[in-house]
Each structure stands twice: as structure tokens, then as C-alpha cells.
Amino acid sequence: MTEGAVASDDKEPGATEGAVTSDDKEPVVMYCTNHPDRVTYLRCNKCGRPMCTDCLVLTDVGYRCHDCIRDQQSRFFNAGLSNVGLAVLISFAEGVLLILVGLLVVLFIGFWGLLLAPALAGLAADGTWRAASRQRARRLRIYTTVALIGGALAGGAIVVLFIPIGLWGFLFFVIGVFTFYNRVP
């Protein structure tokens, strides 16, 4: 009986599942907040506004509207400019240190020095994360990795006057950069 009360051409199998709040006894025809001409049975489970399927995204926690998803993401990325700036500065310094230590190590022990690269780059990534006060930011890992590379190149440019940068030195740099990039959140 109540089935016939709603426009049947708007019904899809399962479309009403979970759409109705528990206090509703029967499906209530609602209209999408963004598209007033579209009938819907779904609501954003965060803000509760009725939304059509085009305006909702099925997330891990149920249907969410784009506004609520954007809001959640901007709270996830909550690093301020000072966090990012400090993290970039620290990453540059770490790049200088990383290449100095790396080139010295491979100068003395050659290939085996490469084994140190992931550990040292991991420490550097940790330092960067601390410098950012453990606040996530969009593209933080890109900015800081570029800074790390810049520092390593600057350090390498000075070091090359005293120590020849061989294959192991170059590989140390590559492994370090990749490890760092993968470790920074």
C-alpha cells in the first residue's frame, strides 16, 4: 500500500535501504538539496540533508554529500603554513646531512654503505614529520622531498670538491630520496 504512494519510476532496488531514519514509519519522498526537481530517499549521513545519488558518495561510513567530504578532508589536512615551512627547511638541512654522511660512508665501505641509506632517510623523514608538528598537509611529501633533494644537491656540490661522487654515492642519494618520499606522511 505504501509502496504505491511513492512514484514507482524513481524506485530502484535497494535504493531505500538505510535511507529512512528509524523514526520514519514509511519512505518519505524528499527532494535533493542541490536538485530540487529530483526525488530521493537518501540523506547524507553526516549533515542529514536529502541528496540524490549524483550528490552523494558511498564512503566507508555510508553516504556522504560532497560538502561533508570536503569538510572532513580539510580537517584531515590541518597543517598550517608554519608547519609546512619548518618541515621544508628541516628537510633541506637533512638533505645536506644525508648526502655528507652517505658520501663519507660509501667512500670508506663502498657498496655496504648503501644499506645505511634507508635507515638514515627514515630518520630524516621522521625529523621532517616532527618539524611539521605531525600535522598533515596536502603535498607535504612533495615539498619536503624537493627540499631534501635540493639540500642533497647543495651538499653534494660542496662535497664533490673533496670527495669524488661515484656510483655508490649516487645510489645512496637515489635510495635515500625514495625512502624519504615513501616515509613522509
Contact track, Zn ion, 70-109, x by CB under 5 A: ----------------------------------------
In angstroms, what is the minimal distance from the CB of 41 to Zn ion?
13
φ/ψ region of 151 (left if φ > 0, alpha if ψ in -120 to 50, else beta) reads alpha
Task: List Cα–Cα distances, 107 to 98, 122, 179, in angstroms.
Answer: 14, 21, 21
Among the residue ranges 62-70, 76-84, 116-124, 168-176, the one whose residues contact Zn ion (CB under 5 A): 62-70
Nearer to Zn ion, 18 or 164 (CB): 18
| Half-sphere exposure (Cβ direction) of 93: Cα atoms closer than 13 Å | 10
In angstroms, what is the minimal distance from the CB of 132 to Zn ion?
29
Looking at residues 15 to 34 of the shown chain, list those that interact with Zn ion (rule: CB under 5 A): 32, 34
Q: Which residue's entry shows cell 670538491?
A: 161
Nearer to Zn ion, 47 or 142 (CB): 47
Q: Does residue 52 bind Zn ion (CB under 5 A)?
A: yes
Instruction: Show the DSSP H helices in the chain as ranges.
Output: 66-76, 81-109, 116-131, 140-159, 167-183
Q: Does residue 66 bind Zn ion (CB under 5 A)?
A: no
Q: Does residue 65 bind Zn ion (CB under 5 A)?
A: yes
Nearest to 144 by CA among 175, 174, 185: 185
- In the bound state, the residue with its beta carbon closest to Zn ion is 44
Whole-angstrom Cα distance, residue 143 to residue 20? 45
| Half-sphere exposure (Cβ direction) of 172: Cα atoms closer than 13 Å | 32
Nearer to Zn ion, 46 or 170 (CB): 46
Which residues of the shown chain bind Zn ion in the complex (CB under 5 A)?
32, 34-35, 44, 46-47, 52, 54-55, 65, 68
